[in-house]
Structure 1
Amino acid sequence: MNQVDQRTVSRRDTASPRKPQRKNGREKYEKLLDALEALITEQDSSDISLANLSQVAGVPAASVYHFFPSVDASLTALAERHYKFLSDTLLCHSEFTRLDSWQDLLFQVFERVRAYYEENAGALKVHFGPQSSWALRQLQMENHWLLADTLLKSLSREFELPPSQDWRERFMLAITINDSFWSQSYSRFGRITDEIAAEGKRAASAYLKLYLGELLQRRQRRFVAADAPVY
């Protein structure tokens, strides 16, 4: 491995948090993330230091540096917490209402994610803020794939999708298109505005329309009577 490769690996290592295995370590880890959430809500990530995080959390500096080799690592850990909560609470096993078209479902997914960012300043800042470590970019991509899986599962349940092995990738690219509009809105206004959110929806749906068409046939649902015999 040459010196350039070593420096790249080193940067990646310092941008990734070290997750605790023991109960005591997990409690400190979550306490640090709570403190980071409070800090990043009130100030820019560039103004946060690990020493400051240690002081606010009341956790020894040695523990902070053990879990987070850098501020980037702490931000990655906070992003991971938000992505997991978003997935577990808002998207998985969710029912979508008033689905007259595949576009309705797409827009509802986008609106649920946007609402989460509006209610959680920490999530908004770590996702769209100026920090862009390798570990955080990888985590953001994993989140896009997760959203794509949600779309694929939900659309397949409600509509007849044309045969293709590429739907997961198409949905991920549509999510990335929409995300780029949100990122521009955050850079300009510090939030996702209604106007730019609407433009992101149009761009993402226009891309998917190239492959899905304007309309999809609704999937036929089979209902079984409650008193029907089971064989």
Structure 2
Amino acid sequence: MAKPSTSKDAGVPKGRRLQARSLERRLKILNVAREMITTDAIPHLSLYDIAHKAGIPPSSLYHFFPKTEVLLQALAEEVFAAFDECVSRPLVDEEVNHWSDISRILETRMLEYYQQNEMARALILGQHLHVDILASDHQHDDEMGKRIEQIYRRYFELPKLPESYNIFAIALQIADKVYAMSHQEFGNITPTMAMEGWRAARSYLALYLPECLQRRTQS
């Protein structure tokens, strides 16, 4: 016999109720996975263990995430969206006096996110062999690098830059490499290594950007 609708579900079409429950279950899986990533090593992450802790049948979890890589990719997309927000947030014109101020401001925003999100540190900076996640991270860096270049061009007249690669994407990867060294050794990004990451990225950009760049007039 079909289970009667509760007052909460009354008047809601059956298809919409099922869709809402499906979304709720998916969010529960992701929440449990976030928690487990911060306590268990990613290479040992098990979909069966996640299903058990979430209190749902493994078959239901496999419906949403047939492989561990698919689940990790969903979590990585959350991290990428947070980084996109860091780059999209407008800069304060008065705080940009030198081209390096742009990278400093953006790196500070992303560092704050890393410091507040242990899952992001484990997924992006931790040691694991999920090639798909690493490839997605590099692809996202390429996309962010192009957006960051546009921010630089909004404030400064840039010299001719290489066309076969994006220096701003590489600068992001350089900083992340330093952050990863700190995370893997200390479990977090120490203030010293945070500064070293920014200095390494700035030094790389300085190979292509002269110390003094002509400032664009802000309309």
* TM-score range relative to shorter protein: 0.7 to 0.9
Q: Distance in 1 between matches of 2:193 and 2:30?
A: 31
Q: How does 1:102-181 map to 2 (within 5 A)?
A: 102-164=99-161, 166=163, 169-181=166-178
Q: In the superposition, relative to structure 1, how do residues 157 and 52 fare at CA in structure 2: closer, same or farther (>3 Å)? A: same
CA contact (8 A) 2:76 2:123 kept: yes
- Aligned CA-pair RMSD: 2.2
Separation in 2, partners of 1:153, 1:167: 17
- The farther-off stretch of 116-125 and 165-174 is 165-174
Q: Distance in 2 between matches of 1:175 and 1:86?
A: 11
Moved more, 63-72 or 78-87: 63-72
User: Are the equivalent residues in 2 in contact too, given 1:148–1:168 (CA < 8 A)?
Assistant: no
Q: Following the alignment from structure 2 to structure 1, what is the Cα–Cα distance between the partners of residues 201 and 107?
A: 10
Shift in Å at residue 25 of structure 1? 4.1
In structure 1, stretches of 5+ residues that fail to align are: 1-21, 223-231
**Residue 182 of structure 2: which of 156, 181, 185 is its match?**
185
Structure 1 equivalent of residue 86 of structure 2: 90
The change in CA–CA distance for 1:185 and 1:123 in structure 2 (over 3 A counts) is same
Q: Which deviations, in whole Å up to 9, do the C-alpha atoms of 1:38-82 show, x marking residues without a partner?
A: 222333324432122112223321121233233333222211122
Partner of 1:54: helix, strand, or coil?
Answer: helix
Displacement after TM superposition at 1:190 (Å):
1.2
For 1:8, the equivalent position in structure 2 comes to: none
Q: Evaluate the alpha carbon distance shift between residue 107 and residue 173 of structure 1 in structure 2; reply closer, same or farther with a 3 A threshold.
A: same
Q: Which amino acid aligns with 1:68?
A: F
1:55 to 52, 55, 74: 52
Q: Which residue identity does 1:144 align to in structure 2?
A: D
How far apart, CA to CA, are the structure 2 residues paired with 1:144 and 1:219?
A: 26
Give, in whole Å, the separation in 2 of the partners of 1:105 and 1:79.
25
1:68 aligns with 2:65: yes
Q: 2: distance between equivalents of 1:168 and 1:104?
A: 22
Equivalent pair of 2:171/2:204 in contact (CA under 8 Å): yes
Give me the identity figure in percent. 29
Alignment correspondent of 1:228 = none
**1 CA distance for matches of 2:111 and 2:61?**
31
CA distance in 2, matches of 1:79, 1:71: 12
CA distance in structure 2 between the partners assigned to 1:199 and 1:148 by the alignment = 20
CA distance in 2, matches of 1:75, 1:116: 18
Q: CA deviation at 1:168?
A: 6.4
The 1-side partners of 2:50 and 2:114 are apart by 23
Q: Structure 1 CA distance, aligned partners of 2:142 and 2:25?
A: 30
Alignment of 1:15-26 (within 5 A): 25-26=22-23
> AA paired with 1:152?
E
Quick one: which amino acid aligns to residue 114 of structure 1?
L
**In the TM superposition, what is the alpha-carbon distance from 1:119 to its structure 2 partner?**
0.3
Q: Distance in 2 between matches of 1:92 and 1:24?
A: 33
3-state SS of the aligned residue for 2:166? helix
TM-score normalised over the length of structure 2? 0.81
- Gap regions ≥5 residues in structure 2: 1-18
Give the aligned residue type for 2:179.
W
Letter in 2 for 1:177: I
Q: Does 1:31 align with 2:51?
A: no
Q: Confirm or deny: 8 A CA contact 1:117 1:124 kept in the other structure.
A: yes
